[in-house]
A and B are shown apart, each in its own frame.
Chain A
Amino acid sequence: MSFLSTLFPAYAEIFLLVMVSAILIVDLFLTNPNKTVTYALVQLTLLGCSMITVSTHQHGVVYLFHNMFVDDLMSDVLKMLSYLSVSMMLVYSRNYLMVRGLFTGEFMALTLFALLGMMVMISASHFLTLYLGLELLSLSLYAMVALQRDSAIATEAAMKYFILGALASGLLLYGMSMFYGATGTLEVAAVSDAITHGVPNKALLVFGLVFVVSGLAFKLGAVPFHMWVPDVYHGAPTAMTMLIGTAPKLAAFAFVMRILVEGLQPLMVHWSGMLVILAVLSIAVGNITAIAQTNLKRMLAYSTISHMGFLLLGVLSGGIDGYGAAMFYAAVYVLMSLGGFGMIMLLSREGFEADTLNDYKGLNQRSPWLAFVMLLLMFSMAGVPPMVGFYAKFSVLSAVVNAGHIPLAVIAVLFSLIGAFYYLRIVKLMYFDAPESHVPISIQPDSGLLISMNGLAVLALGIMPGTFMSVCAVAVQQSLLLH
């Protein structure tokens, strides 16, 4: 019993693993094609996880499993946001997947395994734990993209995702092995100590750093390692796109924090320069290429790339301000993306994907409320106040200016001006153009309510952003100071 009680920081992960195994078995005995029971169990599991995370929260930092696993405020906040995001994703995609025959027990089990991977990543304090979490997440996602077996485009996307993802994992592992060679340890804190106290072979470290940063950039989808993003976003069924585009970005943020900030802080001069290039290229290429897209999912893919550039800007600015801003940005991005992809699924119906821009023509005449929600989301992504997206950009820019990179801030705002154009185009299509189709929009009550709440949350958080901003800053601060 005493052994079990020492495991309390990992209770949420253990609970999730037990539940997902149970769900996998229970699902075999359920014959209801709508999977109502499985779905309810999954949602209850998420609720249970969040209750466990809240109740096992402790002030300070707790290590477990010989310093391979860490529980701090940042990990708890990120985990809570991940539960919320996955839960919302399931609500949005239930009807969408059901009419396509993809709402299966495997889908839900894989979703939960992906979530488990994210949680392990978020709580990792050892390079191997990080890697294990990342692979669990990635392998679940590869399988999910390929779940629609009869779709050539989905299979192609899965293949591309798998090969490039495997390459990125290889790069990461290779880089990590360099760190092991130079410092003799893979523990995040110990690596940091070893570098601070001086290692004989600094070149080896920087060499390894290049590989690690490249691997990270692959996973984040930062330019020039972004090629998989548009194809995967476009090819995967929208529900999977939503999963790839939301919660894993929170895990990726944690990954960046654990490796670069907690582990390799002494090498900041080296990695921040690399991040500048990645960030500027991502913001530039993402925003410019998005203009040329006619498919909303591809457009959102490029928009994601530019958002990741902004997130990296926050990280490279450093300090509590910068990391807090990046965390806030990641969370806000997830909220907006959920709404954006949710809208695509809401407007889709059997045999019809509402994923080209023209499908949004005249939405204001077909459904003023949905058009208004989409307007809120688009202006938020463009960073126009009073939507919360503005405060995300604001906090990142303020960190950049504080770090003295004013030219970088100017470049970022100029490209977000270009970005504003394609978000505006959606608003233009919805409000100024006449509809092409008059098929009535049928909305499920649960996802309809959720998208309304999602849109209003973007506005409400924009009017009162202070609390959430402070939570992110405090979370980052506690994790960094106490390590």
Chain B
Amino acid sequence: MIFGLPVLSVVIWLPIIFGILVLATGNDRNAPLARIIALVGALLGFLVAIPLYTGFDKMTSAMQFVEMRDWITRYNIHYHLGVDGISMLFILLNSFFTPLVVIAGWKVIEKRVAQYMAAFLIMSGLVNGVFASLDAVLFYVFWEAMLIPMFIIIGVWGGPNRVYAAVKFFLYTLLGSLLMLVALLYLYFQSGGSFEILDYHQMAIPMAAQILVFIAFFAAFSVKVPMFPVHTWLPDAHVEAPTGGSVVLAAIMLKVGAYGFIRFSLPITPDASHKLAGVMIALSLIAVVYIGLVALAQSDMKKLVAYSSISHMGFVTLGFFIFNAYGMEGALLQMISHGFVSGALFLCIGVLYDRMHSRQISDYGGVANTMPVFAAFFMLFAMANSGLPGTSGFVGEFMVILGAVKVNFWYAFLAAATLVFGAAYTLWMYKRVIFGAVANHHVAKLTDITLREKFVFVILALTVLGMGLYPLPFSEIMHASVNDLLVHVARSKL
């Protein structure tokens, strides 16, 4: 309870209310005020999420901080919120990133500041809603609603090809979502009139139906993850989005898709999941290997990191579908770590882009000479992206590979290839951008990062190192929930 209000509701609605306040400041004459309100809202949003961690009971896999209210009685739909050890971490991750995104856009965004800041705050609240919903319709409403601010963010503040990217992003995601809606309606009638996600976890479903439901969920979640071959919206959206948009896309949006697999696909259709695990693993490994190679060939830094995200998310889905504790926990840790690392990398590229207005690797070279502090931070995040032990990137990947070895040596072998490719494309990019002689007079005129940028990077660097050296605070939270999930997945529902 915060001020007598339930925590999760505050976590969801506080950013949204602040977003509306920011919108109310109107046009760009009041931009400074809009920025301040946005920052206050984002920081408060993070502060109110902290009680979720401190008040969390690690011993139980049951839902905590539960809120239950009637919403649409005609269809037996409830305003039902609650978190377990998995969703709670993602709410924290999301609330953690909102202030960083606001700070990152502080100076860079000059036109329609209020709308920009408001879109991020509203989206932050909606994403928290996705993670906290225990009612399928409530989940769907948040899930779809968050497309609207993202669509606007990419389309208004994005790069030259932003309209194409925004529309592609929206339609791709909507296609999957609508199929999921049909599946949810089917489950509603099969369960005798319940939209409770937890009821679906217990419900028996025949195999043929399970496969169709699985495919519908797959359509929704694989687009968001994104998995090969429906990943093509991501590089476009990333490249054209403003820095803040890329950060939120990589750090948060992709996690929403993976979270869907954990909350819906695996526990609701375990038999179909087992049956189709081969396909899923194959798609995951293609993402890891093939997309890794694609990343190697990129000349645009943002695109490179975007492809690297797809490759890393392939690791996550691989971890889900090998059905053991190492794989599952590794995948979850990888999701959180990837949130920090890819967010940080996009911020790094944003720092360069703000100064040079180019994302082409070939336009850079020898940045270390003019921006030494920045080069150091960039180095750390690049290393984390390639999975260096001691950084957060290592923990998850190592656990997934460990889990994969137990199932099949060749899965593990191919998955481990990502460590090689990851190191190759990240470090090669790093080398070409940062090292060497100063490439041109634009680079020579670069100025090192400001205090505001430093602040953001220090926080992210501490988190990445902290999680790499001591991942226990993260893994112990999710332990009970992961075990419970594995029990669900192992139990046939035919």
Which residues of A pack against B, CB within 8 Å? 364, 368, 375, 379, 384-386, 390-391, 394-395, 397-398, 401-402, 406, 409-410, 413-414, 416-417, 420-421, 424-425, 427-428, 431-432, 465-466, 469-470, 473
A379/B148 contact (C-beta < 8 A), A397-B181, A406-B182, A466-B72 known: yes
Let me know if B178 is at the binding interface, CB within 8 A: yes
The answer to whether B72 and A401 touch across the interface, beta carbons within 8 angstroms, is no
The answer to whether B175 and A417 touch across the interface, beta carbons within 8 angstroms, is yes
Q: Which chain A residues border B162 with CB–CB below 8 Å? A: 432
Main secondary structure of the interface of B (DSSP, over half): helix
Question: Which one of B89-97, B164-172, B256-264 is at the A interface?
Answer: B164-172
CB-CB nearest in chain A for B163: A432
Q: Give CA–CA (A406, B182) in the complex, Å.
A: 8
The answer to whether A428 and B166 touch across the interface, beta carbons within 8 angstroms, is yes
Q: Within the complex, which residue of B27, B71, B74, B140 is in contact with A470, where a contact is CB–CB below 8 Å? A: B74
Q: Give CA–CA (A425, B171) in the complex, Å.
A: 12
The answer to whether B178 and A417 touch across the interface, beta carbons within 8 angstroms, is yes
CB distance from A276 to the nearest CB of B (A): 17
CB distance from A435 to the nearest CB of B (A): 14
The answer to whether A401 and B185 touch across the interface, beta carbons within 8 angstroms, is yes
Q: Give CA–CA (A416, B177) in the complex, Å.
A: 12
Q: Give CA–CA (A469, B73) in the complex, Å.
A: 9
CB-CB nearest in chain A for B71: A466
Q: Within the complex, which residue of B26, B144, B155 is in contact with A385, where a contact is CB–CB below 8 Å? A: B144
Let me know if B449 is at the binding interface, CB within 8 A: no
Q: Give CA–CA (A402, B178) in the complex, Å.
A: 17
Let me know if B124 is at the binding interface, CB within 8 A: no
The answer to whether B166 and A413 touch across the interface, beta carbons within 8 angstroms, is no
The answer to whether B144 and A384 touch across the interface, beta carbons within 8 angstroms, is yes
Question: What are 28 A-B contacts with C-beta separation under 8 Å?
Answer: A364-B115, A368-B27, A368-B115, A384-B174, A385-B145, A390-B141, A390-B144, A397-B181, A397-B182, A398-B75, A401-B182, A401-B185, A401-B189, A409-B185, A410-B179, A414-B175, A414-B178, A416-B178, A417-B178, A420-B170, A424-B151, A425-B167, A428-B163, A431-B152, A432-B155, A432-B156, A466-B73, A466-B77
Q: Within the complex, which residue of B77, B147, B167, B175 is in contact with A384, where a contact is CB–CB below 8 Å? A: B147
Q: Which chain A residues border B320 with CB–CB below 8 Å? A: none
Q: Give CA–CA (A368, B166) in the complex, Å.
A: 20
The answer to whether B155 and A431 touch across the interface, beta carbons within 8 angstroms, is yes
Q: Give CA–CA (A470, B71) in the complex, Å.
A: 12
Q: Give CA–CA (A402, B163) in the complex, Å.
A: 38
Let me know if B421 is at the binding interface, CB within 8 A: no
Q: Which chain A residues border B144 with CB–CB below 8 Å? A: 384-385, 390
A384/B185 contact (C-beta < 8 A), A424-B167, A431-B156 known: no
Q: Give CA–CA (A410, B216) in the complex, Å.
A: 10
The answer to whether A420 and B151 touch across the interface, beta carbons within 8 angstroms, is no
Q: Within the complex, which residue of A398, A401, A420, A431 is in contact with B174, where a contact is CB–CB below 8 Å? A: A420
Q: Which chain B residues border A413 with CB–CB below 8 Å? A: 178-179, 181-182
Q: Which chain B residues border A469 with CB–CB below 8 Å? A: 72, 74-75
The answer to whether B186 and A466 touch across the interface, beta carbons within 8 angstroms, is no
Q: Which chain A residues border B75 with CB–CB below 8 Å? A: 395, 398, 469
The answer to whether B188 and A398 touch across the interface, beta carbons within 8 angstroms, is yes
The answer to whether B185 and A421 touch across the interface, beta carbons within 8 angstroms, is no
The answer to whether B163 and A420 touch across the interface, beta carbons within 8 angstroms, is no
The answer to whether B181 and A410 touch across the interface, beta carbons within 8 angstroms, is no
Q: Give CA–CA (A432, B112) in the complex, Å.
A: 12
Q: Which chain B residues border A466 with CB–CB below 8 Å? A: 70-74, 77
The 10 A-B residue pairs whose C-beta atoms are closest, nearest first, are A413-B178, A466-B72, A385-B141, A401-B185, A432-B155, A470-B74, A469-B74, A385-B144, A409-B182, A398-B185
CB distance from A95 to the nearest CB of B (A): 26
Q: Which chain A residues border B148 with CB–CB below 8 Å? A: 375, 379, 384
The answer to whether B182 and A385 touch across the interface, beta carbons within 8 angstroms, is no
The answer to whether A465 and B72 touch across the interface, beta carbons within 8 angstroms, is yes
Q: Which chain B residues border A379 with CB–CB below 8 Å? A: 148
Most chain B CB atoms below 10 A, which of A395, A427, A470: A427
Q: Which chain A residues border B167 with CB–CB below 8 Å? A: 421, 424-425, 428
Q: Give CA–CA (A425, B188) in the complex, Å.
A: 33
CB distance from B139 to the nearest CB of A (A): 11
Q: Which chain A residues border B74 with CB–CB below 8 Å? A: 466, 469-470, 473
Q: Which chain B residues border A385 with CB–CB below 8 Å? A: 140-141, 144-145
CB distance from B130 to the nearest CB of A (A): 12
CB distance from B128 to the nearest CB of A (A): 15
CB distance from B214 to the nearest CB of A (A): 15
CB distance from B173 to the nearest CB of A (A): 10
Q: Which chain A residues border B178 with CB–CB below 8 Å? A: 413-414, 416-417
Q: Which chain B residues border A420 with CB–CB below 8 Å? A: 170-171, 174
The answer to whether B166 and A384 touch across the interface, beta carbons within 8 angstroms, is no
Q: Which chain B residues border A368 with CB–CB below 8 Å? A: 26-27, 115
Q: Which chain A residues border B151 with CB–CB below 8 Å? A: 424, 427
Q: Within the complex, which residue of A364, A394, A402, A432 is in contact with B189, where a contact is CB–CB below 8 Å? A: A402
CB distance from A45 to the nearest CB of B (A): 34
Supply 13 further A-B pairs (C-beta < 8 A) apart from A385-B141, A397-B181, A420-B174.
A368-B27, A379-B148, A384-B174, A395-B75, A401-B188, A410-B182, A416-B178, A417-B174, A421-B171, A431-B155, A466-B77, A469-B72, A469-B75
Q: Which chain A residues border B166 with CB–CB below 8 Å? A: 428, 432
Q: Which chain B residues border A417 with CB–CB below 8 Å? A: 171, 174-175, 178
Q: Give CA–CA (A369, B166) in the complex, Å.
A: 22
Q: Give CA–CA (A384, B146) in the complex, Å.
A: 10
CB-CB nearest in chain B for A391: B72
Q: Give CA–CA (A395, B137) in the complex, Å.
A: 12
Q: Which chain B residues border A364 with CB–CB below 8 Å? A: 112, 115, 156
CB-CB nearest in chain B for A371: B115
Q: Which chain A residues border B141 with CB–CB below 8 Å? A: 385-386, 390
In chain B, residues 57-114, which have Cβ atoms closer than 8 Å to a Cβ of chain A?
A: 70-75, 77, 112
Q: Which chain B residues border A432 with CB–CB below 8 Å? A: 155-156, 162-163, 166
Q: Which chain A residues border B163 with CB–CB below 8 Å? A: 428, 432
CB distance from A420 to the nearest CB of B (A): 6
Q: Give CA–CA (A431, B155) in the complex, Å.
A: 8
In chain B, residues 214-268, which have Cβ atoms closer than 8 Å to a Cβ of chain A?
A: none
Most chain A CB atoms below 10 A, which of B73, B77, B112, B141: B141
The answer to whether A397 and B171 touch across the interface, beta carbons within 8 angstroms, is no
CB distance from B119 to the nearest CB of A (A): 11
Q: Which chain A residues border B181 with CB–CB below 8 Å? A: 394, 397, 413
Q: Give CA–CA (A397, B151) in the complex, Å.
A: 25
CB distance from B135 to the nearest CB of A (A): 13
CB distance from B85 to the nearest CB of A (A): 28
The answer to whether B170 and A424 touch across the interface, beta carbons within 8 angstroms, is yes
CB distance from B256 to the nearest CB of A (A): 15
CB-CB nearest in chain B for A407: B182
Q: Which chain A residues border B145 with CB–CB below 8 Å? A: 384-386
CB distance from A454 to the nearest CB of B (A): 19
Q: Which chain A residues border B147 with CB–CB below 8 Å? A: 384
Q: Give CA–CA (A364, B162) in the complex, Å.
A: 17
CB-CB nearest in chain A for B158: A432
Q: Give CA–CA (A412, B27) in the complex, Å.
A: 40
Q: Which chain A residues border B155 with CB–CB below 8 Å? A: 428, 431-432
Q: Give CA–CA (A379, B170) in the complex, Å.
A: 12
CB distance from B50 to the nearest CB of A (A): 27
Q: Give CA–CA (A432, B155) in the complex, Å.
A: 6
